[in-house]
Each structure stands twice: as C-alpha cells, then as structure tokens.
C-alpha cells in the first residue's frame, strides 16, 4: 500500500486515534462486543504494538454508541518485516 505524502505529520509520534460509532440504539454490551472485535483485528497487524479502547460516555465521548481506540504503532526503527 502506498500512502500519499502529507497523510502523516512530520512529527509522527507513532500514535493513531480511531473513533468508532454504532447505531444510537446499541446497548452497552453490544458496543463492547463490537469494540473488542475491532481491537482483536487491529492487534493482528504486525505494525500495531498495543492499543487502548474506550466506549460510552466520558469527557470526550458524549454518547453511549461512540468509542475511541488509541493505537500505538511499532517504532519505525523496530518495524517488523514480513
């Protein structure tokens, strides 16, 4: 895959934040299952070192049907080769 220049800022920190959202009628349990499934898939990527996952209402999320995933990438100088 080729990523166009400018996609990542020059001061790349190796962190990516993702926002998730489900239908407004989703239950907390169903949202948790969806978020966990997403986390499992992200962690399969060899360039993902770790992640944090949050769902529900907090200081950033204003509704139950939204979540965040904070992804820590493997440092460039330790990038895993296929």
Please give the full DSSP string across 44-55, using - where no structure is assigned.
TSTTEEEEEEEE
Average pLDDT, the chain: 85
pLDDT at 65 over 60: yes
- Whole-number pLDDT of residue 72: 95
Q: What confidence category does residue 35 fall into, taking pLDDT thresholds of 50, 70 and 90?
A: very high
Q: What is the pTM of this model?
A: 0.75
pLDDT of residue 80: 60
- Residue 75 CA, distance from chain mean position: 17
Looking at the predicted structure, is the pLDDT value of residue 9 above 80?
no
Amino acid 79: pLDDT: 63
């Amino acid at each position: 895959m080729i990523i166009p220049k400018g996609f990542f800022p020059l001061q790349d920190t190796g962190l990516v934040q993702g926002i998730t959202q489900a239908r407004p009628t989703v239950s907390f349990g169903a949202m948790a299952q969806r978020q966990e499934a997403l986390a499992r898939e992200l962690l399969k990527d060899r360039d993902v070192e770790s992640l944090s996952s949050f769902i529900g209402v907090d200081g950033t999320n204003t509704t139950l049907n939204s979540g965040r995933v904070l992804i820590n990438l493997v440092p460039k100088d330790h990038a895993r080769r296929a």
